[in-house]
Structure 1
Amino acid sequence: MKKVLIGIDYNPNTEKVAKEGYALAKKLGAEVCLLHVLADVSYYGVNYPTFMGYEGYNEMQVDLNVISELRKVAEDFLRTAAEHLEDENVSTHLAEGSTSSAILSYAEEWHADLIVMGTHSHSVLEKVLMGTTASKVLEKTKVPIFFVPIKEE
């Protein structure tokens, strides 16, 4: 194992995921990359014509500066998270789009040997109706995954 990709989000429990993933990577002597996925914000900047009687996009005039600000916030989050691990060799990557697809895509691009993710406790019904990012990644990955259980107290 040479490269460990650790997926983090804005949930405060992500600190546990980052720390446990980092500790595992260090035991393996592996390179670490923290990955955060930003929802496809460019979608909101599209100025669609009226459709189905809805004119919201024409009237809304979404400020593209908002998209830029969201990226800056996400980049700041990643930088701060990496600094928190106190290892200047930890790299970061900000991806955009569908979370599970972005994780899988970057894991392949970066040649990750292991993906570390947190699993939030959801009911079986929630998983059946909407799925979870972790289960979607697990279903399609070619890379081993290390799950860190996260339970809301």
Structure 2
Amino acid sequence: MGLGSHSIVETTMSLFKKILVPIDGSNTSNKALDYALKLAQADNAEVRLIYCIDELSLLSSHEYSGEMVQLARENGHTILQGGMALASAAKVKADTRLVDRIGQRLGESVADAAGDWGADLIVLGTHGRRGIGRVLLGSGAEQVMRMSPVPVLMVRGFD
């Protein structure tokens, strides 16, 4: 039984309609955003850009203060505005959310944001660290992958 002159991709509906993209302003995050925007263009999908404030990391800092959280929020808004400009230039429907959930790890925040919005896919950057570097630094991308209610596409960043 053949497919005729049409491929499976051409005869099925688009797989992803809502793509969640956590961004942090890094080159790796920007590469993932670029990939997500291209995917959204191809699938006529909408994108939600999120910036997560990792208060657990801030709390473990010796210099933690409420001012640090406020600075993180301001930085997040700036990064989200930059992401929206890129989405607008790509003519992709997009919105933003600043995720500030006290007591949650980064992976939990991203997974919850995906579930709350009804995302079909999460696209995020990863550094691709291996061995002791991954063990010592942890992997936010790995946390997201383990906790996510939807498929996760990891885009390897620049080394």
CA distance in 1, matches of 2:148, 2:97: 19
Give structure 2 stretches of 5+ with no counterpart: 1-15
Aligned twin of 2:77? 75
CA 61–75 in structure 1, closer or farther in 2 if over 3 Å, else same = closer
CA distance in 2, matches of 1:61, 1:67: 8
Residue in structure 2 matching 1:5, options 4, 16, 20: 20
CA distance in 2, matches of 1:3, 1:82: 15
- Checking the alignment, whether the CA contact within 8 Å between 2:29 and 2:125 is kept in structure 1 is yes
Aligned twin of 1:141? 148
RMSD across aligned positions (CA): 2.5
Residue in structure 2 matching 1:31, options 46, 50, 53: 46
Percent of matched pairs sharing the same residue: 25
CA distance in 1, matches of 2:75, 2:132: 33
1:1-153 superposed matches below 5 A: 1-40=16-55, 62=65, 64-85=66-87, 86=89, 87=91, 89-96=93-100, 97-152=104-159
Q: For 1:89, give the aligned amino acid.
A: K
Shift of 1:151: 2.9
- Checking the alignment, whether the CA contact within 8 Å between 1:8 and 1:14 is kept in structure 2 is yes
Shift of 1:25: 1.6
CA distance in 1, matches of 2:127, 2:152: 15
- Checking the alignment, whether the CA contact within 8 Å between 1:121 and 1:151 is kept in structure 2 is no
Shift of 1:70: 2.6
TM (norm. structure 1) is 0.77
CA 69–23 in structure 1, closer or farther in 2 if over 3 Å, else same = same
CA 138–76 in structure 1, closer or farther in 2 if over 3 Å, else same = same
TM (norm. structure 2) is 0.74
Give structure 1 stretches of 5+ with no counterpart: 45-55
Q: How many residues align?
A: 137
